[in-house]
Structure 1
Amino acid sequence: MADEELDAIRAQRMAELQAKHGDPGNDQQGQQENKQRESEMRNSILAQVLDQFARARLNNLALVKPDKAKQVENYLIQMARYGQLGGKISETGLIEILEKVSQQTEKKTTVKFNRRKVMDSDEEEDDY
């Protein structure tokens, strides 16, 4: 009788742990659901923050430069969370934000030419 009760308690505890931590088989599905929820949350925040034309411009940017669009989206979401936005951002406002992000992330490359003088046969001095 004690063994049956102990087995029942173990089974119940195992079910609680699997429900709490997730079944390893369902882990990939859980991650996919989390990504989908995060994506929906980002889209809803951006829909509240941007007007229609600004949203279209951001979507066009995402097609060409997905990393820069992601940076701008993160910047806008952060500003919205801290209450730094007064209302919906227009297309011109988004362009200004794009310029700010571009200036912050712009990598300055310098090219240095090291020119060496090569002696040709025409340039040699004749000592006749």
Structure 2
Amino acid sequence: MADAELDAIRKARLEQLKAAQGGGGGSGLGKAASRGGGDQAQQRQQQEAEQRQSMLNQILQPEAADRLGRIRLVKEQRATEVENRLIALAQSGQLRAKVTEEQLKELLNAVSDNKEEEKIVVSRRKGWADDDDDDLLDL
């Protein structure tokens, strides 16, 4: 069963690479592509997104997919990074079974550990009613 899933992932990736290189069957759309380039690009992006989602459905258990969807609502960039890492692991053959929610949590922690923590620096200015200014009023 795992071999069939890996074959499906490899086929989807191969199709994705062909589409990215423009290797899809040339159906004489040269002139139409120059006029409707935006539509074609949008269609290609949609197709790539569908392939990506299909691969993720094969890689993730339903609970893990739900968690990743919730993460996407909050931090889209982090979810994309995790998806990219999962797809890379699957393509390299390092995933033996579907990723569980616990494994996804570990991967999220690994991704967040690699990123530098954002620091918020608060610099406070002295207000107009500081105690230091009281002695100036007593003159």
**Identity percentage of aligned residues:** 36
Counterpart of 1:103, as a letter, is D
Query: Take 1:83 and 1:104, find their aligned partners in 2: how far apart are those partners?
Result: 23
Q: How many residues align?
A: 109
| Structure 1 stretches lacking a partner, 5+ long | 1-15, 114-118, 123-128
Cα RMSD for the two superposed structures: 2.9
Query: Take 1:62 and 1:54, find their aligned partners in 2: how far apart are those partners?
Result: 12
State which structure, 1 or 2, has the greater radius of gyration over its C-alpha atoms: 1
- Taking structure 1 as reference, are residues 28 and 120 closer, same or farther at Cα in structure 2, changes over 3 Å only? closer
Secondary structure of the residue aligned to 2:114 is helix
1:92 offset after TM fit, Å?
0.3
TM-score, with structure 2 as normaliser: 0.64
Residue of structure 2 in register with 1:30 after alignment? 40
- Taking structure 1 as reference, are residues 98 and 24 closer, same or farther at Cα in structure 2, changes over 3 Å only? same
TM-score, with structure 1 as normaliser: 0.69
Alignment of 1:71-90 (within 5 A): 71-90=81-100
| Structure 2 stretches lacking a partner, 5+ long | 1-25, 124-131
Counterpart of 1:38, as a letter, is E
1:37 offset after TM fit, Å?
1.1
Residue of structure 2 in register with 1:43 after alignment? 53
List, as ranges, runs of 4+ consecutive aligned residues in structure 1 with deviation greater than 2 Å.
Answer: 18-23, 106-113, 119-122
Query: Take 2:117 and 2:32, find their aligned partners in 1: how far apart are those partners?
Result: 43
1:29 offset after TM fit, Å?
1.3
Structure number with higher relative contact order (C-alpha < 8 Å, ≥ 6 residues apart): 2
